[in-house]
Structure 1
Amino acid sequence: MAAKPHRYTIRSSSSALGFWLGAAVLVVLVGAPLVMAEWRVVGFVLPPALLLGWALWLFLYRPAVHYDEREIVVVNVGRVHTVPWSRVVRIRQRFSLELDFASGRPLQAWGVQPPRRAGNVASMFDRRSRTPPDPDRYVHVLEGFRENAEPGDAPVTRRWDVVPLAIGAVLIAAVIVEIAIGV
């Protein structure tokens, strides 16, 4: 049995930071009444906090690009696309990473951070002492994997991200029930 190739991940660092900050606020929001044994407050705050935590995770942390020598897996909100390198014609960096196929239909990867250009904050630093930002750094890395991939005819698979969406549906139902019965 062949060894499984090492998988790499690209995820927006600013979105991940937003997720962790939001999660910390939610932990304090639920943890404070929990520590003080205010059970009615915990019961009132917990379902909406879980729903908000799920939304933060789904929209800020879950979108990512995973890749190895064989394929690239694009995880967007609610959808997962598994693309063999042999199907990718070109990779571009726009506001999001974009994979082009021979059919002409592009696939956008929402989880990749948009390129950063030098702005007001960057102008405060001495530009001579640092390398300029490379807006296409992910493109260069992924193009190397694409060019070194073995040819093949494996299909592109697209599927709904069922488990996270089902968890969200259950949390929405829990919040609706909580509102309806007025806990």
Structure 2
Amino acid sequence: MTSPEHQSPDPEPMNAAGSATPQYQDRIYRSPAGLVGGVLLLALIGWLGVDAVFAGEGRTPWLALAAMLFLVPLVVAYTLRPAVYVNDDRLRVRNPFRVIVLPWGRVASLRSGFTNEVFAESGAKYQLWALPVSLRARSKANRQEARAAARAALGDGGGRGGRGGRGAVGPAEGPRRHESDRAMGEMRELHERRQGAETAQGEVTVRWAYGIAAPAAAGAVLLAVLLAVG
């Protein structure tokens, strides 16, 4: 559910024009919960699938192979693959089936609602799959912020002696926002600073992940054929 950020080399670094620029290192935002869930699902599919292939009879091994060919790419696409790569020049969004590169100069806004999204100047909207929204964590942070504001008001209004001073300590800590909300805030600040930079200009590019979609489609067709002739 969280999506912390860390420094790591970008495996597919690109500049605003889409050319390779290996000198950059990107800040990467991912979902640890998605990674853990994906690994567990792949382990479960592998265990059941391998058992069916070697111990099954009749069409069972073929059905198991087709199901694995269909399910494994989907699990990878929706759990292990999503990531957001950020540097001073551009935002690269790696979603389940597409990679979108948006130079900061082409980003109109970053918005958070039920999902986190980036809007291009053309009006196109792209969801940030790697940054899932936690409404529960957001509500908790809002409550903490309200309590901190109330403590600050009491500290300012009744600041006599030591008690007023102690009352003002609480707000300094600030509310603990969910990781995805904090990541969106950091990206908005970077967008405001860099949207006018010369190196942050260029065109928005969208590239489909055929290496994920093709095996899943082949597995779906094979599974459908096996079930139809059954």
Compute the TM-score of the two structures, normalised by the length of structure 2: 0.61
| Runs of 5+ consecutive residues of structure 1 not aligned to the other structure | 120-127
Q: Is the 8 A contact 1:6 1:68 kept in 2?
A: yes
Aligned partners of 2:68 and 2:97: how far apart in 1?
A: 20
Q: What is the RMSD computed on CA atoms of the aligned residues? A: 3.2
Amino acid at match of 2:176: P
**What is aligned with 2:177?**
134
**What is aligned with 2:121?**
102
Q: Is 1:10 equivalent to 2:39 in the alignment? A: no
Count of residues paired in the alignment: 173
**What is aligned with 1:85?**
104
Q: Is the 8 A contact 2:28 2:85 kept in 1?
A: yes
Aligned partners of 2:21 and 2:185: how far apart in 1?
A: 28
SS at match of 1:95: coil
Change (3 A) 1:105 1:49: closer
What percent identity do the matched residue pairs reach? 25
SS at match of 1:117: helix
Give 1:180 shift: 4.1
Change (3 A) 1:96 1:69: same
**Deviation sequence 1:78-134 (CA, Å, 0-9, x none):** 332110111123323223222233344443222212145349xxxxxxxx9x97431
Q: Which has the higher helix share?
A: 2
Per mean C-alpha deviation after superposition, the further-off stretch among 2-11 and 82-91 is 2-11
Q: Is the 8 A contact 2:105 2:194 kept in 1?
A: no
Give 1:160 shift: 2.6
Aligned partners of 2:79 and 2:71: how far apart in 1?
A: 12
| Runs of 5+ consecutive residues of structure 2 not aligned to the other structure | 1-19, 139-169
Compute the TM-score of the two structures, normalised by the length of structure 1: 0.75
Larger Rg: 2
SS at match of 1:138: helix
Q: Is the 8 A contact 1:14 1:113 kept in 2?
A: no
